Amino acid sequence: MPIPNTITRTLELAHPQAKVWAALTTLEGLTSWFGSHADGKVAPGEDVVMRWEQYDDGQQVLAIKVVDPMSVFAYCWGISGAPAGDPRRTYVEFALEPTDTGTRLVVRESGFAQLPDEWLEQTYQGNSSGWGAELAELVTYLDAA
């Protein structure tokens, strides 16, 4: 079965759009569910450096592309397992829309088609399961906050 170019996850959240937006687009929010440390500025053209203590202080640079308040937040980031200096990135987009019961959040990570066959499946499967875990942490954070 061919590997898709995009991972898509849709969450129906029982939280107001402003609360979900803050969890996604503030350094405090990001470190509450996504990584253990975040430094930088969440604005188009800026970078946010995320670190994960639980993964041997692994880090990723989020190159912020879109910050459309209450609507779309997007960044590019490096591909896990790629050699140091590899210029390829995937594009991650969080799209929010209000619903009668809270907020619909659609998360899309695209750009897997550019990967060489030897890492494509492992990278896609790793990111796919990673989003499942990270978004579960987002829900836990939102429910507790």
Q: What would the pLDDT profile of 38-59 be if each residue is shown by its tens digit?
A: 999 999 999 999 998 876 778 8
Which H/E stretch holds residue 75? Answer: strand 72-78
Q: Considering the domain boundaries, does residue 1 fall inside one? A: no
CA distance 9 to 3: 16
Q: CATH no. for residue 24?
A: 3.30.530.20
List the strands of the sheet with 58-68, edge to edge. 6-13, 102-110, 89-99, 72-78, 58-68, 47-52, 37-40
Domain that holds residue 105: 6-144
State the pTM of this model: 0.94
Kindly tell me if the per-residue pLDDT of 1 is higher than 70: no
Q: Considering the domain boundaries, does residue 124 fall inside one? A: yes
Q: Considering the domain boundaries, does residue 100 fall inside one? A: yes
Tokens read off for 101: 């019961």
Query: Under a CB-based contact definition with an 8 Å cutoff, are residues 14 and 101 in contact?
Result: yes
Q: Considering the domain boundaries, does residue 122 fall inside one? A: yes
Tokens read off for 98: 């209000």
Per the structure, the count of domains in the chain is: 1
Q: Looking at residue 3, what is its pLDDT?
A: 86
Q: Considering the domain boundaries, does residue 96 fall inside one? A: yes
